[in-house]
């Protein structure tokens, strides 16, 4: 069984003592590739170092996370733009909006979202969207920018069936992670009703570890537990989940 990890911050300091062993465990669990979303200028070096050490396995993206957006966000976006213009990345991200931690810079977050989205459209790249406590606002931003080649993943999806269908109508995929395994995660109705061809798998490592590891450090090797949960809810095999979500990931990342 082969799986693709579409969203993991494995360059985090939380892996500094065992990153090689963590990647080995991922390979043993059938993880074919690990896609790494950027956070901001401070995460780029560590992310690209992992790409250098594990070429074609640890694959970087380039973007500015909404929680790193402040009154000086244009400086950070200049760095992102510079990187996007001087080498190839598979996607623009992690980007988006966040109303969970702080609402102070929401207008700046929306501006940063629009700017990065236009870069992605121009370069024909997908975007990787963070939208914590801001799904409806972000769906509206995507709808306003919609063009034929505008596509991507709503990472860490935790919304309703109605929101899922709105996202699918816009041509975007849903990133399903550890929240699917939580007792009160609320994702079972979504997993029951949304076809596999609209889903990709992720862990968001080192965050949001699935049950039975909840509350501990997450890692890509646990992706198997997310696939298992989806298979159980849909009453299909884990291989069915792996095959469909792997094809979806290959397609979105070209």
> Tens digits of per-residue pLDDT, 232-249?
999 999 999 999 999 999
111, with CB counted inside 10 A (0-12, 13-18, 19+), is middle
Stretch 177-187: mean pLDDT: 96
Average pLDDT along the chain: 97
Residue 128: is its pLDDT beyond 90?
yes
**Which CATH number does 3-252 carry?**
3.20.20.140
- Residue 7: CB atoms within 10 A of its CB come to 25
Name the pLDDT band for 101 (thresholds 50, 70, 90). Answer: confident
pLDDT band at 47 (very low <50, low <70, confident <90, very high): very high
**Cα separation, 92 vs 89, whole angstroms:** 7
CA–CA dist 164, 167 (Å, integer):
5
Write the CA distances from 241 to 174, 236, 249, integer angstroms: 14, 8, 12
CA neighbor of 119 nearest in space, from 55, 172, 61, 60: 61
């Amino acid at each position: 069984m082969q799986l693709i990890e579409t969203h993991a911050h494995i360059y985090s300091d939380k892996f500094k003592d065992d990153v090689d062993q963590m990647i080995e465990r991922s390979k043993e669990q059938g993880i074919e590739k690990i896609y790494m979303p950027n956070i901001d200028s401070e995460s780029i070096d560590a992310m690209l170092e992992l790409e250098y050490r594990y070429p074609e396995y640890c694959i970087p993206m380039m973007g500015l996370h909404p929680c790193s957006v402040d009154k000086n966000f244009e400086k950070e976006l200049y760095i992102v733009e510079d990187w996007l213009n001087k080498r190839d990345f598979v996607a623009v991200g992690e980007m988006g909006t966040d109303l969970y931690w702080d609402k102070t810079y929401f207008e700046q977050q929306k501006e940063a979202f629009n700017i990065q989205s236009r870069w992605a459209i121009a370069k024909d790249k997908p975007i990787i969207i963070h939208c914590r406590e801001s799904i409806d606002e972000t769906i509206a931003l995507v709808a306003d920018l919609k063009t034929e080649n505008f596509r991507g993943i709503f990472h860490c999806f935790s919304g309703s069936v109605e929101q899922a269908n709105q996202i699918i109508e816009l041509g975007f995929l849903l990133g399903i992670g550890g929240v699917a395994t939580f007792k009160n995660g609320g994702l079972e109705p979504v997993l029951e009703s949304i076809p596999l061809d609209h889903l990709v798998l992720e862990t968001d490592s080192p965050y949001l570890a699935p049950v039975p590891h909840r509350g501990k450090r997450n890692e890509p090797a646990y992706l198997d537990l997310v696939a298992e949960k989806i298979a159980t809810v849909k009453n299909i095999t884990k291989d069915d989940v792996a095959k469909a979500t792997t094809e979806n990931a290959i397609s979105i990342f070209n």
